[in-house]
Amino acid sequence: MKLRVAVLYGGRSGEHEISLRSAEAVIAAMDPAKYQVERILITQEGRWDPRAISPDPGANPGIDVVFPVLHGTFGEDGTVQGLLDLANLPYVGAGVLASAVSMDKEIMKRLCAERDLPVADYVTVNRGAANLDEICASIPFPMFVKPANLGSSVGISKVKSYDELKTAIEFAGRFDRKVIVERGIAGREFECSVLGNRDPQAAIPCEVLPSREFYDYEDKYILGTSKTVLPADLSPEQTSEVQRLAVACYQAVECEGMARVDFLLETATGKFFINEINTIPGFTSISMYPKMWEAAGLPYAALIDRLIQLALERHQERQTTAYRIDAGQ
């Protein structure tokens, strides 16, 4: 019997279009002999497909597992994961906690720092309440200004002067009430895919070569002029360090299923810094998460199989735990 997979995609975030493209790639990779796909589209206005998921346990008999392909807020931040937990449905990817803290760049950095993992110096400001002088006293130029809760490099600015800082914070504030200002790291950019539940594994890292000053939204999805190097041009020791840090970051936020961890390698010090973790990385035709696993010997279709298997395994484990709690054992 085919496994009935509900692919949940679209959503209200600024990454709606990327979600559509990722979902089509995921669906195309699913073996029709194994899976019966049910599409569930969420519009940019937040309207759900009439066949949408009910939060009532047992009210979704046509679904065996959910594959959320929702990037950014209202999909990758724990909100949808909470709905799926209420519905008692297995789903691909991180749970509520890991999704929420990974989406919030400040909380992610705090958790990494608590485990002595390297992150760039930063300050956090609230929209409309930033003290520019205090920021400049803490962080040297150039700076990167980012919305705390968003992905795909949306709303990010590289700031080189005091005059640019206010504009950059206002721009980032259009996407989130909390804004992160980070020390700019001069160096190279890398990504590393991680896969697994209790025993996560890291794939072969890749290097990103932006065509612009930094790897922004247009460079990623519109211009198509950035390049990637896979496998990354790193020494064996550097490769092992990226993989170690990727898994350590993944575990620090208690991630499960999948994530892509992004890094900066500072030229001046030769030190790697964890930039961010994405719990629902892109799955488009140009996305590096599946490409890194393919380079590690796990093709796209097999990766989809593995992600669904991990979702079912985690759900089964949680069912056993829930039964013990309910039974007072």
Domains of the chain: 3-92 (3.40.50.20), 101-119+185-298 (3.30.470.20), 122-183 (3.30.1490.20)
Mean pLDDT of 53-68: 95
Q: Tell me, what's the pLDDT at 320?
A: 75
Is 278 annotated in the active site?
yes
Average pLDDT across the chain, whole number: 91
148-183 pLDDT per residue, tens: 987 656 789 999 999 999 999 999 999 889 999 999
Q: Tell me, what's the pLDDT at 197?
A: 98
Is 260 annotated in the active site?
yes
Q: Tell me, what's the pLDDT at 49?
A: 82
User: Is pLDDT above 80 for 226?
Assistant: no
User: Is pLDDT above 90 for 72?
Assistant: no
Single out the catalytic residue among 93, 157, 282, 289: 282
User: Is pLDDT above 60 for 329?
Assistant: no
List of long-range contacts for 104-110, beta carbons under 8 Å, 24+ apart: 104/77, 104/148, 104/149, 104/178, 105/146, 105/148, 105/149, 105/180, 105/276, 106/148, 106/178, 106/180, 108/249, 108/253, 108/276, 108/277
287-296 pLDDT per residue, tens: 999 999 999 9
User: Is pLDDT above 50 for 73?
Assistant: yes
Single out the catalytic residue among 9, 10, 13, 15: 15
Is 317 annotated in the active site?
no
Q: Tell me, what's the pLDDT at 9?
A: 96
Single out the catalytic residue among 176, 262, 294, 305: 262
Mean pLDDT of 14-34: 94
Single out the catalytic residue among 278, 287, 300, 314: 278
Q: Tell me, what's the pLDDT at 322?
A: 56
User: Is pLDDT above 70 for 2?
Assistant: yes
H/E stretch holding 10 reads strand 3-10
Single out the catalytic residue among 38, 191, 276, 305: 276
Q: Tell me, what's the pLDDT at 215?
A: 53
Mean pLDDT of 111-117: 97
Is 275 annotated in the active site?
no
Mean pLDDT of 220-233: 76
Single out the catalytic residue among 221, 250, 289, 300: 221
The more confidently predicted of residues 154 and 145 is: 145
Is 282 annotated in the active site?
yes
% of the chain residues with pLDDT over 90: 80
| 144 close to 158: Cβ distance less than 8 angstroms | yes
DSSP 8-state assignment for residue 321: H
Q: Tell me, what's the pLDDT at 212?
A: 58
Single out the catalytic residue among 260, 289, 294, 314: 260
List of long-range contacts for 119-124, beta carbons under 8 Å, 24+ apart: 119/273, 119/274, 120/182, 120/183, 120/185, 120/264, 120/273, 120/275, 121/182, 121/183, 122/180, 122/181, 122/182, 122/183, 123/180, 123/181, 124/148, 124/178, 124/179, 124/180, 124/181
Q: Tell me, what's the pLDDT at 35?
A: 98
Burial of 301 (0-12, 13-18, 19+ CB in 10 A): middle
User: Is pLDDT above 80 for 214?
Assistant: no
User: Is pLDDT above 90 for 15?
Assistant: no
Mean pLDDT of 232-245: 98
User: Is pLDDT above 70 for 321?
Assistant: no
Is 221 annotated in the active site?
yes
